[in-house]
Amino acid sequence: MASSSSTRSIVLGLSLWFLLISPALSLTCTSQSKNLKNEIYVHCLDLPSLSSFLHFTYDASNRSLSIAFVAAPAKSGGWIAWAINPTAPGMAGSQALVAYKDSKGAVTVKLYNVSSYESIVPTKKLSFDVWDTSADESGGLMRIYGKVKVPEELAKAGKLNQVWQVGPSVTPEGMIAKHDFAPPNLNSKGALDLSGAHTGGGSTGTDSRTKKRNIHGVLNAVSWGILFPIGAIIARYLRTFESADPAWFYLHVLCQSSAYAIGVAGWGTGLKLGSDSKGVTYTGHRNIGIALFSLATVQIFALFLRPKKDHKYRFHWNLYHHSVGYAILVLGIINVFKGLDILNPENKWKSAYIIVISVLGGIAVLLEAITWIVVISRKSRSRKA
């Protein structure tokens, strides 16, 4: 029963995830003109969240950065913002260019000093020079144009922290309303490489990049997020049944080694994605991914060092094998959710994964109960005998 419903959930999970490979793509850097408002921008960056784009040209000789930021406000009558944060990666401390429709219906650009989350103050000047600012709107998208003098330290580093955002409304006094706190709104930040290296729009088109990201998501969700937990369930619960010995062991090894093979492929795609997107780094997701790969590799090799059942070190080996196994289980699931937040597909994909993992969790709880019943009745039987 357990194996047929888990097979069903794997099939469900696999088919749902494979659909992810072909999401509907609307506008991308490759599909839009590089010529905006009579200026030709050298680079275009498909920003990884909030369906936004940054066209830019950087002149290193005088540190001038010319940008056109394109995004749709969260609601009509809302605002869009693009900012440089000279001091830190997040929103606090950023120096922002914000566009919205003023009370007369004209799209305007205002400067904001976002010194903290509580203090978002319209200002006449940012901490660096800004000139030639303007904004316009077409087809539901707003664009902010502007030129900034990149501060010297950032120019030396060759990159800067950028933050972007969209919000729902603006008061008549020009106070911008809070944006949502959904994952795309919280992930809308990253490093901007001024050289334009690996920022897309060139040979690596966005469509192929999105496809790569989706393949990466599918491989890793299936291996770390689904197969590894199933393999752990097999090892923990089938073992209780004497008739399942040694079948459970081979099933467990088969499941975990296929998970590992798929996981390594997924990990490789992740490394490639990471090196292709110099512009934006997801440190947490990346570090967990590296930890997962290392732990799983150790786990595979430990198989060859497994002492015999009655060996005095077998207890220690089991202890080690189980703790590393559970660590992989937990980290794997966490990283699938982190990845989903980055990839930010439609909600149904996240729901699908939640369903798959809940079904597995439910099966585990049921089997845990059955195991206890079996073990207790076995004990009482052996006591009677």
Ligand X SMILES: *[C@@H]1O[C@H](CO)[C@@H](O)[C@H](O)[C@H]1NC(C)=O
Footprint on this chain of ligand X (rule: CB under 6 A): 59, 62, 64, 113, 115, 123, 125-127, 149
CB atoms near residue 345 (< 10 Å): 16
> Is residue 311 annotated as involved in ligand binding?
no
Judged by beta carbon, residue 123 or residue 204, the one nearer ligand X is 123
Measured from the CB of residue 103, what is the shortest distance to ligand X in angstroms?
25
Judged by beta carbon, residue 155 or residue 343, the one nearer ligand X is 155
For residues 17 and 352, the answer to whether their CB atoms sit within 8 Å is yes
- The length of the chain is 385
> Is residue 316 annotated as involved in ligand binding?
no
> Is residue 198 annotated as involved in ligand binding?
no
> How many angstroms separate the Cα of 30 from the Cα of each of 50, 53, 60, 145?
17, 11, 25, 19
Measured from the CB of residue 165, what is the shortest distance to ligand X in angstroms?
18
Only one residue has tokens 């603006």, namely: 170
Three-state SS letters, the chain = CHHHHHHHHHHHHHHHHHHCCCCCCCCCCCCCCCEECCEECCEEEECCCCCCEEEEEEECCCCEEEEEEEECCCCCCCEEEEEEECCCCCCCCEEEEEEEECCCCCEEEEEEEECCCCCEEEECCCCCCEEEEEEEEECCEEEEEEEEECCHHHHHHCEEEEEEEEECCECCCCCECCCCCCHHHHCCEEEEECCCCCCCCCCCCHHHHHHHHHHHHHHHHHHHHHHHHHHHHHHHHHHHCHHHCCHHHHHHHHHHHHHHHHHHHHHHHHHHHHHHCCCCCCHHHHHHHHHHHHHHHHHHHHHHHCCCCCCCCHHHHHHHHHHHHHHHHHHHHHHHHHHHHHHCCCHHHHHHHHHHHHHHHHHHHHHHHHHHHHHHHHHHHHHHC
Q: What is the CA radius of gyration of the chain?
A: 26
d(CA 336, CA 259): 14
Judged by beta carbon, residue 59 or residue 346, the one nearer ligand X is 59
Residue type, 356: V
Judged by beta carbon, residue 115 or residue 257, the one nearer ligand X is 115
Which among 6, 1, 163, 164 has a CA at the least distance from the CA of 74?
164
> Is residue 321 annotated as involved in ligand binding?
yes
